[in-house]
Amino acid sequence: MSINKQPGTQIKLTNVSIVRTKKGGKRFEIACYQNKVSEFRSGVETDLSEILQIEQVFTNVPKGQVAKKEDWQKCFATDDINKVIEEILRKGELQINNLERTHHLSSLSREIATIVSEMTVDPTTTPPRKHTVGMVEKAMAEVGFSVKADRPAKAQALELIKKLSDGEVLPVRRVRMRVRITMPSKDAKRCKEKVLAETEETEEEETGTEWEVIVQINPSSFRTLTDLVNTETKGKGRVESMGSVGG
């Protein structure tokens, strides 16, 4: 990224999101697109020109006051402005005005509810069915779930699932994965109990020259289960996904 040379020290900016940090007793700010800040921090976006509304370091964005080069060079111990901008992006505090904050929290709340709807089912129904996004949003309000503007939606969704699982407002259970496990019967005699300990529910089981079982598992257990079967059978066993239950 090349930094544009700006005449003077006054640049007028409107409708910007600001990332601010203090370094060496001085304040430094950059003008960004709000959604791009989180993408940079998660590693999705790395092109600074896509993140910044203007490729410059400021002391005060609303007033258009550009930081002196000697100030940021001294405070950040570098003459590479890209490194300065990246540090501000990583460590700075995102400033959001009230209107932006309200809109951001509303969008984030909806995203969290959508993730919970996709990741869970109602265990009281047969077969288990998904809750609607609207039902999850209503439950969020009833349990007093507070959405955090600076935390990823998925992390907050997992937190909400735990909170709902522990209460009685909305019955939820993580969507289960159905898998088929097969291995030589001689191996099954030795490790069957250890393998089934990683599962949630057994649907079908047959034993002949091979042991075959269809089970339901938490999706997060798939890798652990696969590694366990491979290790115990020295590669002769298999774990195959058969889709999700109630998904």
The CATH number linked to 116 is 1.10.10.900
Averaged pLDDT for residues 212-241: 94
- Per the confidence metrics, is the pTM higher than 0.85? no
Give the integer Cα–Cα distance in Å for 95 and 106: 17
Which residue from 103, 107, 104, 4 is spatially nearest to 53, judged by alpha carbons?
4
DSSP 219: G
Give the pLDDT confidence of 18-55 residue by residue, as tens digits: 999 999 999 999 999 877 888 888 888 889 999 999 88
CA angle 70, 75, 80 (to 5 degrees): 65
Amino acid of residue 162 = K
- Please, what is the Cα angle at 138 between 133 and 139, to 5 degrees? 95
Owning domain of residue 228: 176-245
Token pair of 177 as six digits: 């994965």
Q: What is the mean pLDDT of the chain?
A: 88
Q: What is the pLDDT confidence band of residue 203, given thresholds at 50, 70 and 90?
A: very high
The reply to whether 205 and 235 lie within a common domain is yes
Distance between CA 195 and CA 181 in Å, rounded? Answer: 9
Residue 80 lies in a domain: yes
In this predicted structure, what is the pLDDT of residue 6?
Answer: 44
**Residue 6 falls inside a structural domain:** no
Is residue 141 situated within a structural domain? yes
Q: Do 63 and 117 reside in the same domain of the chain?
A: no
Residues 153-166, mean pLDDT to the nearest whole number: 93
Give the number of domains in the chain.
3
Same-domain check for residues 201 and 239: yes
Question: Nearest-5° angle of CA 44, CA 102, CA 143?
Answer: 95
Residue type present at position 28: F
Instruction: Report yes or no on 215 lying in a domain.
Output: yes
